């Protein structure tokens, strides 16, 4: 499975400009037939314009969802479409969208853990559904958003449901870049799965973002890593046999004793 993960800057509060920029990235980077799945960052249509999100957020049947479906079909790729601000019943959610190569929305996920350090709980509503894996090309996969990475229990639950790869759209700040890298490697090692992240670069409202998007294999090796401050993309071919192999070599899932935890 050939994966491309985008590391991008985001134009604050201008969804249309960000959609156009994303279209151009697809034109430059993705060729039908050479890529199976593309990953985008967190809140990539607006950035963290929290106080203005109630006006910038889109309804679920949005122009952004329409664009993701159009790109998926045009480029014959699955898209883990990062997250966008979605307005539903008067509340704004930080919602991730997954569209398959036939242009069908196969999964959405509302960020569960809202970030106190960024006052997210004052502006966003948390997700209220149990996390689930989704399936693309017969492979079970999981998705979390940024701060969720600090909660190993959500990722373990996805692993127990059979996830072999975990996607992490993010806007992780540079001030905690060390945590970003180590936690991703830890989650890959402890759950013996691929971890693929898409983090933004640039700055907004006094916060510098870390970049350093990553692709980590189920052994914890870093297969690809973005720079701290440049727009770029990482391209890697995932070998899902590797997940089985690591789980055979170190069979942690058979050694768990959850009745004592
Ligand atoms: O946990 C962190 O340090 C950063 C989290 C974050 O920035 C986010 O979830 O958007």
Residue 153: which of 252, 261, 254 has the closest Cα? 261
pLDDT at res. 143: 98
pLDDT at res. 162: 98
User: Mean pLDDT by 10-residue block, N- to C-terminus, for the chain (261 residues)?
Assistant: 98 98 98 96 97 95 97 98 97 98 98 95 96 97 98 98 98 98 98 98 97 98 98 97 98 97 93
| Any atom of ligand 1 within 6 Å of the Cβ of 115 | yes
pLDDT at res. 221: 98
The Å distance, Cα 114 to ligand 1 centre, comes to 8
pLDDT at res. 247: 98
The Å distance, Cα 29 to ligand 1 centre, comes to 28
pLDDT digits (tens, 9 = 90+) for 1-31: 999 999 999 999 999 999 999 999 999 999 9
Q: How is domain 2-260 classified at the CATH fold level? A: Nitrilase/N-carbamoyl-D-aminoacid amidohydrolase (3.60.110)
The set of residues, in sequence order, having a beta carbon less than 8 Å from that of 40 and lying 6+ positions away, is 6, 8, 22, 79, 80, 81, 82, 169, 198
Residues marked as catalytic: 42, 111, 146
Mean pLDDT (the chain, rounded): 97
**What residue spans define the domains of the chain?**
2-260
pLDDT digits (tens, 9 = 90+) for 124-160: 999 999 999 999 999 999 999 999 999 999 999 999 9
| Any atom of ligand 1 within 6 Å of the Cβ of 82 | no
């Amino acid at each position: 499975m050939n994966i491309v993960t985008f590391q991008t800057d985001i134009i604050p509060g201008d969804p249309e400009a960000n959609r156009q920029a994303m279209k151009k990235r697809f034109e430059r980077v993705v060729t039908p037939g050479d890529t199976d799945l593309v990953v985008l960052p967190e809140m990539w249509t607006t950035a963290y314009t929290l106080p203005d999100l109630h006006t910038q957020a889109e309804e679920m049947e949005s122009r952004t969802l329409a664009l993701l479906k159009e790109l998926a079909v045009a480029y014959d790729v699955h898209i883990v479409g990062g997250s966008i601000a979605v307005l539903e019943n008067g509340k704004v959610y930080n919602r991730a969208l997954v569209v398959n190569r036939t242009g069908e929305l196969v999964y959405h996920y509302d960020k569960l853990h809202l970030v106190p350090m960024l006052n997210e709980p004052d502006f966003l509503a948390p997700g209220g559904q149990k996390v689930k894996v989704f399936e693309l090309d017969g492979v079970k996969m999981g998705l979390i958003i940024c701060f969720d990475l600090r909660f190993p229990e959500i990722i373990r639950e996805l692993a127990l449901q059979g996830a072999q790869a975990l996607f992490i759209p993010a806007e992780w700040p540079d001030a905690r870049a060390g945590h970003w890298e180590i936690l991703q490697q830890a989650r890959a090692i402890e759950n013996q799965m691929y971890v693929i992240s898409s983090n933004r670069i640039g700055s907004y409202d006094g916060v510098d973002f870390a970049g350093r998007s990553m692709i980590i294999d189920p052994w914890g090796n870093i297969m690809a890593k973005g720079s701290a401050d440049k727009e770029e993309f990482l391209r890697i071919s995932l070998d899902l046999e590797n997940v089985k192999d690591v789980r055979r070599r170190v069979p942690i899932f058979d050694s768990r004793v959850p009745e004592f935890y």
